[in-house]
């Protein structure tokens, strides 16, 4: 009987339901939220609409919106984690021990890092790339629309798995990169690390497929005439990011698999004994991890290049040096991973090399900053909300970058390693750099996707709250780090006098949270006023790239006629000619909606869950189902349909009438 039960449900048992109230409360509230959402959808009879128009849609713009919705939800989830961490640190002093146990605290900071990087930042990045890239290069769609939707659903499956860990079992308490030997079975016997492994494994494969997809899209489906050197800067940044994904993500897949083999099959890759080498794990994970931070930041660089040039009404300063800087960052990002563990003891020569390479990579980054500043020089700058994010970015990114160069000096790093100074540094880069960039991009391209602009006043307020909140939250951390506070600290002596700084940092997180609230409010208010904010021209900012040459919101077939590109900043040159040119409109071959991708995603959740709990039969069945669905899809003789020219003409004329009214 016992054998049968363990065959049926693996390691799953009654103890899997969390016993501490905090976690249980979080799990219950998430489940309640899901049920509430499902009830609303059922009440409005929207399930069929959602399934047909969104979940199965291969339209890259809809996929992009789905990515962004999921990533914002995850940003909020990760933000709640951050609030819990700072709340603990502000109160757990001396005789007081705060409200979280050390183990729960460790789970929370592990979840915070994992969710923010993989599901908030990566999701928002793929969201923006999906929304903009095909439009910007004059393409019908991505190269492989079905694969694109599958990537989204794999990302979604990974996200579900992280959140399932809240209610069934526990999450990894080994930090966001789960260093062994702590993450080995001996020291982390629960399923937490397995949840971490499989959510990242599944989401990571989705990212890898997206990387291949967009790389192919850029190299193969650009509009005729758009040579690589006439390509917009955002497209360049995506090309560089996707090549990093292609080189880096397989390493992550391997590393996670090896850790899982250690934990499940009793192998000895990273174990402390029997010939394992735990430092190899740290090397492997950072050989992926360092390029990963550039994967996140490069699209933000691309976005700023578009935003700054557009709102300064000038061409981008130093296009070729910009491209050169992007490409050198891409190459150099693979030569610096060891700076994450100078204290490993690799010796002075090795540390010296990686320290110097780290400083070298600051040079192309500096080139980009100066190019943006020179782009603004003598320009007619419009202080829109997108530009505000840029101004915030320049300040913070420079400060964070200088902190990074300090950390790049191995002797200094020996002092600062594992301190809150480091935490402050990388948050400056990822919040002030990556996130500010994505927010600038979202407000910049919002009208193209939804057909109306975002409320400007609330947008500014959002920025100021984020910016001030950021300074309040992280400047104290720089100071605390220099005072000697280590990261991931859940209790400290009152005599250290750190508490006021931790309280200020906590207040900062609250201010950022109010920024998130105002951001949501901004979207609600803009939606309610969408008639007065309507983008009638399709070109609200006097844009210079192809996406602004089509109506807003972008039609589902993107371009009625494929544009032929002659120069860089093409749309600025031909804006007044192109609109009056007669168009010869042909039939367009469109991919059909695809219900296979969401089913693959849902099955992957079961597969991941089964691997976590060692329910081998379920793992086999779900793997079999996935393969069967893929075979069915590949044998589909009719994955496309033809959209007739007459229909396109009709739609385009509707748009013209609308524009004239």
Partner 1 sequence: MSTQNQQFDIHHVSLSELRKEESTSIFENVSFGFFVYLMTDLVLFASLFAVYAVLHKNTAGGPAGYQIFNLNTVLVETLLLLTSSFTTGLTILSLKTKTKKNVYINLFITFLLGLSFLVIELNEFSHLVSIGDSWRVSGFLSSFFTLVGTHGLHISIGLIWMIILAYRLHKTGFGRANIRRFTIFSLFWHFLDVIWIFIFTVVYLMGVTRL
Residues lying near partner 1 in the complex (CB under 8 A): 52-53, 59, 61-62, 65, 143-144, 208, 211-213, 215-216, 219-221, 246-247, 249-251, 253-255, 258, 261-262, 265-269, 271, 273-277, 280, 284, 449-451, 553-556, 589-590, 592-593, 631, 634-635, 637-643, 647, 651
Tokens 């850790």 — which residue? 259
Distance CA 442, CA 445 (A): 5
Q: How far is the CB of 255 from partner 1 (least distance, A)?
A: 7
Cβ-count burial of 280 within 10 angstroms (0-12 exposed, 13-18 middle, 19+ buried)?
Answer: middle
3-state helix, strand, coil in the chain (%, to 5): 70, 0, 25
Specify the residue, 70 or 258, whose C-beta has the smaller distance to partner 1: 258
Specify the residue, 493 or 638, whose C-beta has the smaller distance to partner 1: 638
DSSP string, 78-104: HHHHHHHHHHHHHH-BTT---SS-HHH
Specify the residue, 39 or 219, whose C-beta has the smaller distance to partner 1: 219
Distance CA 116, CA 125 (A): 12
Whether 235 contacts 137, CB under 8 Å: yes
Q: How far is the CB of 212 from partner 1 (least distance, A)?
A: 5
User: Does an H or E element contain 633, and which?
Assistant: helix 616-634
Q: How far is the CB of 201 from partner 1 (least distance, A)?
A: 13
Q: How far is the CB of 149 from partner 1 (least distance, A)?
A: 14
Tokens 């590109």 — which residue? 565
Distance CA 152, CA 123 (A): 9
Whether 247 contacts 334, CB under 8 Å: yes
Q: How far is the CB of 587 from partner 1 (least distance, A)?
A: 9
Specify the residue, 268 or 491, whose C-beta has the smaller distance to partner 1: 268
Cα 611 to the center of its chain, rounded Å:
25
Specify the residue, 465 or 533, whose C-beta has the smaller distance to partner 1: 533
Q: How far is the CB of 155 from partner 1 (least distance, A)?
A: 17
Specify the residue, 279 or 489, whose C-beta has the smaller distance to partner 1: 279
Q: How far is the CB of 646 from partner 1 (least distance, A)?
A: 10
Question: What is the Cα gyration radius of the chain?
Answer: 25
Specify the residue, 379 or 555, whose C-beta has the smaller distance to partner 1: 555
Q: How far is the CB of 300 from partner 1 (least distance, A)?
A: 24
Q: How far is the CB of 283 from partner 1 (least distance, A)?
A: 9
Q: Which residues lie below 8 Å from residue 352, measured CB to CB, with a gap of 6+?
A: 410
CB burial string 501-532: b at 16+ within 10 A, e below: bbbbbbbbbebbbbbbebbeebbebbeeeeee
Specify the residue, 89 or 552, whose C-beta has the smaller distance to partner 1: 552
For residue 563 the two structure tokens come to 């544009």
User: Cα dihedral angle (329, 334, 335, 339), rounded to 10 degrees?
Assistant: 100
Q: How far is the CB of 186 from partner 1 (least distance, A)?
A: 14
Specify the residue, 249 or 389, whose C-beta has the smaller distance to partner 1: 249
Distance CA 305, CA 311 (A): 10
* CA atoms within a 13 Å half-sphere pointing along the CA-CB vector of 173: 15
Tell me the torsion sign for CA atoms 190, 191, 196, 201: positive
Q: Which residues lie below 8 Å from residue 639, measured CB to CB, with a gap of 6+?
A: 146, 591, 592, 594, 633
Specify the residue, 147 or 293, whose C-beta has the smaller distance to partner 1: 147
């Amino acid at each position: 009987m016992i054998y049968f039960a363990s065959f049926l449900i693996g390691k799953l048992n009654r103890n899997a339901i969390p016993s501490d109230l905090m976690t249980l409360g979080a799990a219950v509230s998430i489940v309640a939220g899901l049920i509430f959402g499902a009830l609303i959808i059922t009440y409005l009879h929207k399930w069929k609409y959602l399934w047909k128009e969104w979940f199965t849609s291969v339209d890259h713009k809809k996929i992009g919106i789905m990515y962004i919705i999921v990533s914002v939800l995850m940003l909020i989830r990760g933000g709640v984690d951050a609030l819990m961490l700072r709340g603990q640190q502000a109160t757990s002093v001396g005789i007081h021990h705060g409200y979280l146990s050390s183990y729960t605290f460790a789970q929370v900071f592990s979840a915070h890092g994992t969710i923010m990087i993989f599901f908030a930042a990566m999701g928002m990045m793929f969201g923006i790339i999906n929304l903009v890239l095909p439009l910007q290069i004059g393409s019908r769609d991505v190269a492989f629309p079905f694969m694109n939707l599958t990537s989204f659903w794999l990302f979604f499956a990974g996200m579900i798995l992280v959140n399932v860990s809240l209610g069934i079992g526990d999450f990894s308490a080994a930090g966001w990169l789960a260093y062994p030997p702590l993450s080995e079975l001996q020291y982390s016997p629960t399923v937490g690390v397995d949840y971490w492994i499989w959510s990242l494994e599944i989401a990571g494969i989705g990212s890898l497929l997206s990387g291949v997809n967009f790389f192919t899209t850029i190299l193969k489906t650009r509009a005729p005439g758009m040579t690589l050197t006439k390509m917009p800067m955002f497209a360049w940044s995506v090309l560089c990011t996707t090549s990093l994904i292609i080189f880096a993500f397989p390493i992550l897949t391997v590393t996670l698999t090896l850790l899982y083999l250690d934990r499940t099959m009793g192998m000895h890759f990273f174990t402390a004994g029997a010939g394992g080498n735990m430092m190899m794990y740290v090397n492997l994970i950072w050989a992926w991890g360092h390029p990963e931070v550039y994967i996140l930041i490069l699209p933000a660089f691309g976005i700023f290049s578009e935003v700054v040039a557009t709102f300064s009404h000038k061409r981008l300063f130093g296009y070729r040096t910009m491209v050169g800087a992007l490409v050198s960052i891409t190459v150099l990002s693979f030569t610096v991973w060891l700076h994450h563990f100078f204290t490993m003891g690799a010796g002075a020569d090795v540390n010296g090399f990686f320290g110097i390479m780290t400083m070298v990579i600051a040079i192309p980054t500096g080139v980009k900053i100066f190019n943006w500043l020179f782009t603004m020089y003598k320009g007619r700058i419009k202080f829109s909300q997108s530009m505000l994010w840029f101004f915030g970015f320049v300040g913070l990114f420079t400060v964070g970058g200088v902190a990074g160069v300090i950390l790049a000096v191995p002797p200094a790093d020996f002092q600062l390693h594992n301190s809150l100074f480091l935490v402050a540094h990388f948050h400056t880069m990822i919040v002030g750099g990556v996130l500010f960039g994505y927010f600038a991009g979202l407000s910049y391209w919002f009208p193209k996707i939804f057909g109306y602009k975002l409320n400007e006043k609330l947008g500014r307020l959002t920025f100021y709250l984020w910016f001030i909140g950021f300074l309040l939250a992280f400047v104290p951390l720089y100071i605390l780090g220099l005072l000697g506070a280590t990261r991931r600290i859940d209790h400290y002596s009152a005599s250290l006098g750190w508490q006021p700084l931790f309280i200020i940092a906590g207040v900062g997180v609250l201010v950022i949270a109010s920024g998130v609230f105002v951001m949501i409010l901004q979207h609600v208010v803009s939606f309610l006023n969408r008639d007065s904010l309507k983008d009638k021209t399709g070109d609200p900012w006097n844009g210079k790239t192809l996406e602004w040459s089509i109506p807003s919101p972008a039609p589902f077939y993107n371009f009625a006629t494929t544009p032929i590109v002659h120069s860089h900043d093409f749309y600025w040159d031909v804006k007044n000619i192109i609109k009056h040119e007669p168009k010869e409109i042909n039939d367009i071959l469109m991919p059909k909606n695809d219900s296979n991708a969401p089913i693959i995603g849902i099955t992957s959740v079961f597969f991941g869950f089964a691997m976590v709990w060692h329910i081998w039969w379920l793992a086999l069945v779900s793997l079999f189902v996935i393969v069967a669905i893929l075979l069915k899809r590949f044998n589909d003789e009719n994955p496309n349909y033809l959209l007739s020219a007459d229909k396109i003409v009709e739609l385009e004329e509707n748009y013209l009438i609308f524009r004239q009214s």
